[in-house]
Amino acid sequence: MGTAIVANAGAALPLTAPGLRLAYRAVWALSALLLVTLLAARTAHWARHGDQARRQLLDPAVAPFYGCLSMALLAVGGGTLAVGKDVIGTPAALAADAVLWTAGTLVGLAAAAGIPYLMVVRHRIAEGSASPVWLLPLVAPMVSAALGPALVPHLPAGQWREAMLLACYAMFGMSLLATVLVLPLVLSRLFHHGPLPLALTPTLFLVLGPLGQSTTAVSNLGDAAPGVVIPSYVHAMGAFAVLYGVPVFGFALLWLAIAVAMVIRAVRNGMGFAMTWWGFTFPIGTCVTGAAGLARHTGLAAFDWLAVGLYAVLVTAVAVAGTRTAHGLLRGRLLCA
């Protein structure tokens, strides 16, 4: 998901420089290859070490990461339709996106309900241990809501399209309200117990995920509304994309400033590389697509420039995290028990 968002966010930008589209295709192909590799590895792990896999579900520090499976499927599927169609053709890209979106949505809904259930009945969570990682399973339906509108025009006209559009709004609502409930717990933990451990500091960027993704979702849903719902609803959905998106994006920028300050503090205190550095990637990518969506609906060039600036940050973050991950794998450090 951290790699696919580079292609997805790039396709949403108003940039037309030569070679950019080719670069997006290369990144999309890499993300698809990584997805297939990791799905195969994870399947083998469940088949050969099912007891360990089940123990991970009962670990409150690991279980929320099952939300990433959903977002990986959705991100690669969305990239296939947005960018991969240049390589494999529109019919194949549409079929792949439909399969991946459906699978990702089902997994995301299961994680959004199942992980909180396990946290209540099976996990033993210490007071003051709330973490931004708890947002991972909750934001997965928001990714479905943001990428589902691309499939709306390909459905039969009438009930099918309207049902898809409103289902995406429903997933937008369930993810948003769940985030509103959990985010205060994260803030309370920070206010009462101080900064996160150094290695976990990058997870503060995960809060940007539901903020940027929800802004993207309302923009994409507003774009898909014409011809699907009655004109008065179309106008309301377009207005909602601005009236919701601008304030929430403002809060996202505020949180980005706080998170950057916390990361700088952690680096000064000796924070080294960890896989949590991938938390810098996908959330920033959702802010890129959110800003691009606001640019479409408001016509303000400022949002275009903001999207381009954030995209530069995203590319840098993915390059650093990817390089350090490859280096750690080659050295064997990331595979140590």
What is the C-alpha to C-alpha distance for residues 47 and 26, in angstroms, rounded to an integer?
32
Whether 66 maps to a domain, the answer reads: yes
Residue 63 lies in a domain: yes
Q: Which residue has the higher pLDDT, 307 or 332?
A: 307
- Type and span of the H or E element at 270: none
**Mean pLDDT, range 194-209, rounded to an integer:** 95
Arithmetic mean of pLDDT, 51-62: 90
Q: Is the pLDDT at 49 greater than 70, yes or no?
A: yes
Please compute the mean of the pLDDT values over residues 246-261 and round it to a whole number.
97
Give the pLDDT score at 336: 73
Question: Does a structural domain hold residue 233?
Answer: yes
Tokens of 221: 């849903």
pLDDT at 37 over 70: yes
Domain with 10, as residue range(s), is 4-331
Is the residue at 15 inside a domain?
yes
Would you say residue 337 lies in a domain?
Answer: no
* Pairwise CA distance, residues 139 & 88, whole Å: 30
Whether the pLDDT of residue 335 is over 80: the answer is no
Q: Look at residue 267 and tell me if it is in a domain.
A: yes
- Which ranges of the chain would DSSP assign to H, the alpha helix? 4-12, 20-48, 50-57, 66-79, 85-88, 90-121, 136-147, 159-193, 208-224, 231-268, 282-298, 301-331
The answer on pLDDT for 305 being more than 90 is yes
- Residue 90 within a domain: yes
Number of domains in the chain: 1
Mean pLDDT of the chain: 95
Q: Are 133 and 206 in contact (CB under 8 A)?
A: yes
pLDDT confidence of residue 332: 81
Segment 200-228 shows an average pLDDT of 97
Q: What is the mean pLDDT of residues 291-307?
A: 96
How many Å is the maximal CA-CA distance in the chain?
Answer: 59
Give the type of residue at 192: H
C-alpha distances (whole Å) from 96 to each of 75, 151, 171 are 12, 11, 21
Distance of alpha carbon 135 from alpha carbon 63, whole angstroms: 11
Whether residue 176 has pLDDT greater than 80: yes
As a whole number of Å, the CA-based R_g of the chain is 19
State the CATH number of the domain containing residue 182.
1.50.10.150
More confident residue, 16 or 48: 48
Does the pLDDT at position 337 exceed 80? no
| Cβ atoms 115, 137 nearer than 8 A | yes
Please tell me the pTM assigned to this model. 0.94
> What whole-number percentage of the chain has pLDDT above 70?
100
Q: What is the pLDDT of residues 119-172, one digit of tens each?
A: 999 888 888 889 999 999 999 999 999 999 999 999 999 999 999 999 999 999
pLDDT of residue 12: 93
